[in-house]
Structure formats: structure tokens, C-alpha cells
Amino acid sequence: MAFSFCVSVAQGDEQLFGFVRGAETLPAQRSELYQFITLREGKSEGTYYGSDFETEYEYGFTNRFQASVSLEQHYFYNRGVNGGRDALDDKNAYRFGGVEGSAKYRIFSPFKDPLGVALRVEGGYLLNDEVDGLKQHDRYVKPEIDLQKDFLDDRLICDLDLGVEWAWGKQPAEQYPKELAFEGEAGVAYRFAPNWFAGVEIHSRWEYPMFDFYNFEHRVFYAGPSIHYSQKNWWATLTWNYQVYGKGIDEPADGQTFAEETRQLFRLKVGFNF
């Protein structure tokens, strides 16, 4: 199953998907500037829009190793999201999210080896949560493995990412001070015209407060299409994902979860190479 789901990048760390990463890295002494804009829409009642703005700078120290730093910002607009599932105050406000960093090392190249493999670790310090902009002092670390396989002379690109996240300092934004989460993403993209890729992707997150496997909080699966266009010095990716399944503690068993998640996600990613 791990090898039947896949994704890739056309040039360096170019990203074909909204939520899935490939195993390639930037060439040595090359840089990339990203702007990600994510709109999270829909709760079980009322009107909810959560907008995330991530600005990231990435640098290739060698052909195999790259690192990045980014700033997170949020804007919230919600009215009437006050049911038992969500219980959010009405809000129309900006919040600074925090600072994040990552490092990625490519072990095998998807273009030269049978399977592309990279190890990535991400960490950050987040001052306001992404659900409603509530105060927190969240410090987290998230290691992951990125697998990539290309077919048909790199026209069909496949990717699978698996990661685990440890987070501390989530109170008072959340009830628990620490949390363990498992994440998985997979995608398939096909180059249907010069510079154009169309794909589908799925991503999932499972959360366990207090690092306790018996203390389940929620799990969620999103899936949807993506479209990618690239030029020599820039690229753009647009993705829509819908919550296809979710389950949360103390939530109705109706196949969706809304306490920390939304009904759908829209993400635009733009990258500039230099």
C-alpha cells in the first residue's frame, strides 16, 4: 500500500500537492521562497473561516540537505459557531501564529534510484492556535519519512509521507498540556501537458492527548484534487480537500469531526526559485 501511493517534484523541492511532500531537495546553494495561503471552512453550525498565511524561506546547503524557516499568521471570521461540538466565540480578528523551522536530508533520489527516500524533521513555537487564535505556548517537533516513486519517464509522480508529532504547552488553548499526533499523506499526479500536473491527494491526522494511546481525541481524513503549474523560476499549486471521514471524542457518530477540524480546505502555494 505504501508503494501504491506516491508523489514527486519536477525541479528540486517543487511541490505538486497542497499537503504532500516529495523526496527531492534543492540543489546546493539554491534558495526558494514560498507563500502558502490556506482557507479552512465549515463547522457543524454557523459560519467559520480560518485563514492561514505561511511565508517560508528554504536553502539548499548541499544537493542532499536543505533547511527552512517560516512565519505563521492567521485570520479568523466566525459567527454562530457556538454548539456543543465547537463552542467558539464570534470573532473577526488577526492573530500571529508563530515561528517554524525544518530540515530535510535526501537518502535516495527518485530520479536516480529505484525509490526516493528523504528524512525530514520540523519544529516550531506557536503563540496562538489555528482553530480560534487562542493563546498557547505550543512547542512541537515532528520527524517524518518521505517516499517518492516516478513512472512513465517522470510523467506519473507518486508520494507517501509518514510522520509523528510531539507537542507541549497547548494550554490554555486546549484542555491538555501535551499531545501526540500521527500524520500521513499520499498523492498521485500526472503531467498532462508541458508544465502542467493534475493530481489527487489524501491526508490524515490522529491525535492522542497526554501522549497516551488510550486517550484518543480525534482522527480525520481529507481528500481532493490538485492542479500544478511551473515555469523556470516559479511554480504554483492549488488544492481543494474535503473531510471524507472524521471521528472525535464526545462528538456524534456521524462520520465527521469539527472540534478542531473543518468541512473543507483550500490551499494555494506559490514558490520562487533563485
Tell me whether residue 265 is in a domain: yes
Q: What pLDDT, on a 0 to 100 scale, did the predictor assign at position 235?
A: 97
Tell me whether residue 20 is in a domain: no
Could you give the CA distance from residue 205 to residue 127 in angstroms, rounded to a whole number?
21
Length of the chain: 274
Tell me whether residue 16 is in a domain: no
What are the cell numbers at 231?
515555469
Q: Check pLDDT > 50 for residue 1.
A: no
Q: What pLDDT, on a 0 to 100 scale, did the predictor assign at position 5?
A: 35
Confidence of residue 12 (pLDDT cuts 50, 70, 90): low
Tell me whether residue 137 is in a domain: yes
Tell me whether residue 76 is in a domain: yes
Confidence of residue 51 (pLDDT cuts 50, 70, 90): very high
Q: What pLDDT, on a 0 to 100 scale, did the predictor assign at position 11?
A: 54
Tell me whether residue 8 is in a domain: no
Tell me whether residue 166 is in a domain: yes
Could you give the CA distance from residue 252 to residue 81 in angstroms, rounded to a whole number?
16
Count other C-beta atoms under 10 Å from residue 52's C-beta.
17
Under 8 Å between Cβ of 257 and 219: yes
Could you give the CA distance from residue 20 to residue 237 in angstroms, rounded to a whole number?
11
Q: What percent of the chain has pLDDT above 90?
A: 88
Whole-model pTM: value is: 0.92
Could you give the CA distance from residue 51 to residue 131 in angstroms, rounded to a whole number?
10
Which residue range forms the structural domain that includes residue 47? 31-273
What are the cell numbers at 25?
531537495
CATH number of the domain that 251 lies in? 2.40.160.40
**Number of compact structural domains in the chain:** 1
Under 8 Å between Cβ of 42 and 81: no
3-state helix/strand/coil string of the chain: CCCCCCECCCCCCCCCCCCCCCCCCCCCCCEEEEEEEEEEECCCCCEEEEEEEEEEEEEECCCCEEEEEEEEEEEEEEECCCCCCCCCCCEEEEEEEEEEEEEEEEEECCCCCCCEEEEEEEEEEEEECCCCCCEEEEEEEEEEEEEEEEECCCCEEEEEEEEEEEEECCCCCCCCCEEEEEEEEEEEEEEEECCEEEEEEEEEEEEEECCCCCCCCEEEEEEEEEEEEECCCEEEEEEEEEEEEEEECCCCCCCCCCCCCCCEEEEEEEEEEC
Tell me whether residue 50 is in a domain: yes
Could you give the CA distance from residue 27 to residue 73 in angstroms, rounded to a whole number?
29
| Span 212-236, pLDDT tens digits | 999 999 999 999 999 999 999 999 9
Picking from 67-76, 121-130, 166-175, which range would have the lowest pLDDT averaged per residue?
166-175
Residue type, 141: V
